[in-house]
Amino acid sequence: MGYSCVAITDHVDVSNLDFVIPRLINVARDLNQRQSVKVIPGAEITHVPPGLIGSLVKKARELGAEIVLAHGETIIEPVAKGTNRAAILSGVDILAHPGLIEVEDLKLATERGVYLEISARHGHSFTNGYVARWAKEFGARLVLNSDAHSPHDLMTRQFSQMVAHGTGLGENAFEEMLGNSRDLIDKIL
């Protein structure tokens, strides 16, 4: 499919963080010895009270997660109000599916260098246009993400281009998001 790297960021919370991350690191190490596609082990902090996000981000990094996401305030799941802000303040790399993110939180993400996800996942993608519009206005960096839960969810280049085009950001949206992803990967590695 033309991928040079893939991040595996399983859903974690206080009950499984210390179990999941070491196993993903082992899987990544094994795969990175056997294939050309680089696997980046990480975590997506999901459905935790905002007050716990900071300590989980810190622990995920201590355990060796190379990339940390937080499951944002998507409109299709009951995510606690304040999750987006707590994730941004905690220094996640990507705020996944931030939903109808508050403009103040979007500005904060821009200032702190937190990337915002444009999601290809059904449901989470409902607010892509909203996120893209405000990100453009305030200079927030966007990354395109499959939010894959199975191999069938991985995006072809053509589908990725369509999702990027669907944001309404114009013809260069895909290349800009791809460049942001490359910048993030360079920062991580």
CATH number at residue 73: 3.20.20.140
Per-residue pLDDT of the chain (189 residues; tens, 9 = 90+): 899 999 999 999 999 999 999 999 999 999 999 999 999 999 999 999 999 999 999 999 999 999 999 999 999 999 999 999 999 999 999 999 999 999 999 999 999 999 999 999 999 999 999 999 999 999 999 999 999 999 899 999 999 999 999 999 999 999 999 999 999 999 988
Tokens of residue 153, six digits: 């969810």
Domain for residue 12, yes or no?
no
Burial class from Cβ neighbours inside 10 Å (0-12, 13-18, 19+) for residue 3 reads exposed
CB 147 within 8 Å of CB 160: no
CA 20 to the chain's CA centroid: 17
Q: How many domains in the chain?
A: 1
pLDDT of residue 131: 98
Alpha carbons 116 and 84: distance in angstroms, whole number: 10
Count Cβ atoms below 10 Å from residue 154 Cβ, excluding itself: 14
Torsion over CA: 115, 139, 118, 5 (sign) = negative
What type of residue is 61? R
Are the C-beta atoms of 101 and 72 separated by less than 8 Å?
A: yes
In a domain, 23, yes or no: no
| The two structure tokens encoding residue 74 | 């998507």
pLDDT for the residue numbered 116: 98
Q: Residue 156: give the domain boundaries.
A: 45-188
Is residue 96, in this structure, part of any structural domain at all? yes
The DSSP 8-state label assigned to residue 166 in this structure reads T
pLDDT, one tens digit per residue, over 156-177 is 999 999 999 999 999 999 999 9
pLDDT of residue 189: 85
CA distance 189 to 119: 23
pTM for this entry: 0.97
Predicted pLDDT of residue 88: 98
The pLDDT, as a whole number, for residue 54 is 98
Q: Which 8-state DSSP code applies to residue 65?
A: -
Residue 156 lies in a domain: yes
| pLDDT attached to residue 166 | 96
Examine residue 56 and state whether it is found in any structural domain, yes or no. Answer: yes
65 domain residue, yes or no: yes
**Residue 113 domain flag:** yes
Tell me how far apart the alpha carbons of residues 140 and 131 are, in angstroms, rounded to a whole number. 9
Q: Indicate the length of the chain as a whole number.
A: 189
Q: What is the pLDDT of residues 3-35, one digit of tens each?
A: 999 999 999 999 999 999 999 999 999 999 999
Q: How buried is 62 (Cβ within 10 angstroms: 0-12 exposed, 13-18 middle, 19+ buried)?
A: exposed
Specify if 34 maps to a domain.
Answer: no
